[in-house]
Amino acid sequence: MKKTDQALVGFLTRDELQALLDAPDASTVSGIRDRAMLHLAFAAGMRVSELVGLRLDQIDRQTMSSVHIMGKGRRERVLPLWKQTAAAVKAWLKVRPVTDAPELFFNARAQAMTRSGFEYILTKHVAVAARKAPSIAGKGVSPHVLRHTCAMHTLQATRDVRKVSLWLGHASLQSTEVYLRADPTEKLEALAAMSPPMLTPGRFRAPDKLLAMLNVAGRKPNYAE
């Protein structure tokens, strides 16, 4: 079977990520909602389906310390929330309109947020973030790029691909190994750990047997001429 090339994952730098998280207008209800969604999408490495389907009862509203995520293939994971993420979600809960909708996030019509709805929100805030971090404009930021960003930042912080796998809810380490290929520090550490070959500079001296064979070959007629 022909193997297909696997592109490196795209992710945001810390400056680009911070510019994106700061992009929503915190003086508006929709801005507070958007900031909470962006924080959760990154901090928990959530798939867009996990984010838009997140329910109120999946957030620990008493302590705001964790989120219970229903992942792909019915795999569940409970993740702690960083203080900044917890603060962003808490701010949204304070202004979240009263509704019977079980979802944590919904659109302006008080209906469950859709995948395309979040993609539109993300694109809008990427444009704003580009004013502070111009490099983000050329990265084609999608919801999955936020998940990749979480994975890369977690890998760089822990140096443990197993922890990244647990955080993202991967079924196996094979799915997580793609982040090792995209992290240059992994390659630098591997290079530093390797000893260069101990070659001694000097002139090459051909053995007498090899010189004799070459002399014989040189005397043979060349019938191709």
- Pick the catalytic residue from 33, 96, 125, 179: 179
- Cβ–Cβ < 8 Å for 72, 119: no
Torsion angle defined by CA atoms of residues 178, 180, 182 and 183, in that order, rounded to the nearest 10 degrees: 160
Task: Write down the catalytic residue from 14, 75, 144, 162.
Answer: 144
Chain centre to alpha carbon of residue 27: 29
Kindly name the residue from 33, 39, 47, 153 that is annotated as catalytic: 47
Concerning whether 125 is annotated as a catalytic residue, the answer is no
Which of the residues 72, 124, 131, 159 is marked catalytic?
Answer: 72
User: Is 170 noted as a catalytic residue in this protein?
Assistant: yes
- Out of 35, 147, 148, 153, which one is annotated catalytic? 147
Cα separation of 111 and 185, whole Å?
44
> Active site includes 147?
yes
3-state secondary structure of 149: helix
Respond yes or no: is residue 47 known to be catalytic.
yes
The residues near 16 (Cβ < 8 Å, ≥ 6 apart) are 129, 133, 135, 136, 139
Active site residues per annotation = 47, 72, 144, 147, 170, 179
